[in-house]
Amino acid sequence: MKQLKILWITGCIVLLDQISKWIIKSTMSLHESISVLGDFFRITYIENPGMAFGIRFGDNIFFTVFALAASVVILVYLFKMKGEHIFARIAMASILGGAIGNLTDRIIRGKVVDFLDFEFFDIEIPSFHFIFVDFPGYSLTRWPIFNVADIAVTVGMIILFIFVLFEPEGKNTGEEKNTTLIQ
């Protein structure tokens, strides 16, 4: 039962995500934008039928099935991590919460509600030719609009990356420490 405590993080993320999306849907019109900090931060209500950052390479059924499968895999892995370091478990619980938050939108609405609209910096990659391939280039003048679930997935991935990068081998579970001391 102790390993279920980490799912409180997941549940809180899903709840916060769904409440924030409900508030946006019930108080704003689609594509309406409210300036909070000038042009730097706005609340802009959009519905995203694609993946993160509006990437599309399939239909809603594909994204829903993919998100459902990913959520199940993460949940199973989270249960198998019961002896792992708390930061790794928090990271996975955050990723799961974000995945379930956006999956809930896909199932209920067919699209994900996004509303956090920031102007960070412009990205400009000019088109170029490399070997036998022409790259068309890329331009980003405003950061893609996102939501609480996206923040949870991103923060979870950053925590997981830092944990994996800096966690010494064999130091992640108490079980491994005990067997090392016994030998």
Tell me, letter by letter, the H, E, C secondary structure of the chain. Answer: CHHHHHHHHHHHHHHHHHHHHHHHHHHCCCCCEEEEECCCEEEEEEEECCCHHHCCCCCHHHHHHHHHHHHHHHHHHHHHCCCCCHHHHHHHHHHHHHHHHHHHHHHHHCCEEEEEEECCCCEEECCEEECCEEECCEEECCCCCECHHHHHHHHHHHHHHHHHHHCCCCCCCHHHHHHHHHC
The single residue of 114, 117, 122, 134 carrying the catalytic annotation is 114
- Told to judge if 114 belongs to the known catalytic residues of this protein, a careful annotator would answer yes
- Is 150 annotated in the active site? yes
Q: Which one of 17, 105, 117, 150 is the catalytic residue?
A: 150
Residue 110 makes CB contacts below 8 A (sequence gap 6+) with 49, 60
Q: Which residues are catalytic?
A: 114, 150
